[in-house]
Structure 1
Amino acid sequence: MNTTNTLTWQAFKNSLDQHPDKHLQIEYAAGQFVDPSFHITEIKQAPIVSVDCGGKMNSWTEIIVQLWEPAVKEADRSMKVSKALSIINRVESVLPLNPLATVKLEYGNTQFDARQLYPSAFTADDDTFTVRLTPDVTQCKAEDRGESCGVAPVKTVENRPQVSACQPGTGCC
């Protein structure tokens, strides 16, 4: 989990709560938006338990909101924030969601491979509330703790130690 881009489920819902009458737009890449006729098809709560290459157990929870564009676009349909909130409320009436969980939106189309993205910025204008998404990056948790996973650190331009690529037999990953 990359903690630099994370937003909690509660903070995400609070942002939506401030704009219930606006049309919800999702920007999945610079200048690229999910079709306005999208549906929220599923909300998943995923407890993650892992052991990193340094041997430390990690755990966190993710809430994943899955978005889907119908094959036939519905020109007169646009999801309002209030509709998204009603879906969230319906889900939470059956499955209590962890308010401190990391939130991701899962989306893909024929030009954009399905992936989970972080909500990173919100903007509102007269009619719309836009959620801008950013991708996650992989990381070495042991290195983030200042530990070695068997691979020599490499200095980067910013002079921040980075782990070079793991090679078979080095003891890393």
Structure 2
Amino acid sequence: MNNLNPMNWEAFKNTLSENPDKVLQFQYAEGHFVDASYHITEIKQAPIVSVDCGGVMNSWTEIIVQLWEPSVAETDRAMKVSKALSIVNLVEKSLPLNPLGVVKIEFGNSKFDTRQMYPSGFISEGDSFTVKLAADFTQCKAITRGGSCGTTPSGEECCVPAVNTAAPVKETPALEIVGAENQSCTPGSGCC
């Protein structure tokens, strides 16, 4: 699995359930792990609805597992996978989570800015099960639709709304740029 192919919630849970007796660790950077005394503070389900620069609506769901390190490490505390799954079961009694939702792990501490990361790999060694995390990324959804998008170095043609050739094309009014005098941005002008 890699960043370009995020894991869904059902696959993530299934992977965890194959290792119930192991200590669950999260590696957020090379050689850096979330402290073993972490807590799972909440699990969020975030339905996302967006319109891309080509004017096409997109929607998906994200399942975000938030981790927190206490200010004083609890040396006798390390979460087993079975404990994490019991928290998941408790959450799902109140909030049914979309099995196809994209999984993200949210974490930060005093040395690492809080961010949402993707599970990018799993390591099962001895009594531990490690979830390797990879940074979230941005993407242009218009590029994946094919056509001429991406053929110029600037990629500005991606910002042209999809045109339905069967329907009459109506003129789109110029958009006002707040704080700019005598400037406007029209679809396809390359200013997005």
- Residue in structure 1 matched with residue 80 of structure 2 by the alignment: 80
2:101 equivalent to 1:109: no
User: Which one has a larger percent strand, Structure 1 or Structure 2?
Assistant: 1
Structure 1 distance, partners of 2:54, 2:95, is: 34
Structure 2 distance, partners of 1:95, 1:87, is: 12
Q: Name the % identity.
A: 65
Tell me the amino acid that sits aligned with residue 145 of structure 2: R
Aligned length: 162
Going from structure 1 to structure 2, the CA distance change for 1:136 and 1:147 (only over 3 Å counts) comes to farther
- Residue in structure 2 matched with residue 118 of structure 1 by the alignment: 118
User: Does the 8 A contact of 1:54 with 1:147 survive in 2?
Assistant: no
Higher-Rg member (1/2): 2
Q: Deviations over 1:1-43 (max 9, x none)?
A: x972300100000000001100001001111100000000000
1:1-40 alignment, distance < 5 Å:
4-40=4-40
Going from structure 1 to structure 2, the CA distance change for 1:3 and 1:148 (only over 3 Å counts) comes to farther
CA RMSD of aligned residues (A): 2.2
Q: What is the TM-score normalised by the length of structure 2?
A: 0.78
Q: What is the TM-score normalised by the length of structure 1?
A: 0.86
Structure 2 distance, partners of 1:80, 1:100, is: 24
Structure 1 distance, partners of 2:155, 2:33, is: 35
Tell me the amino acid that sits aligned with residue 152 of structure 2: P
Structure 2 distance, partners of 1:138, 1:125, is: 32
Secondary structure in structure 1 of the residue aligned to 2:123: strand
CA shift, 1:133, in A, is 0.4
Structure number with the bigger relative contact order (C-alpha 8 A, sep ≥ 6) is: 1
Structure 2 distance, partners of 1:103, 1:172, is: 33
Tell me the amino acid that sits aligned with residue 100 of structure 1: L
Unmatched runs of 5 consecutive residues or more in structure 2: 160-183
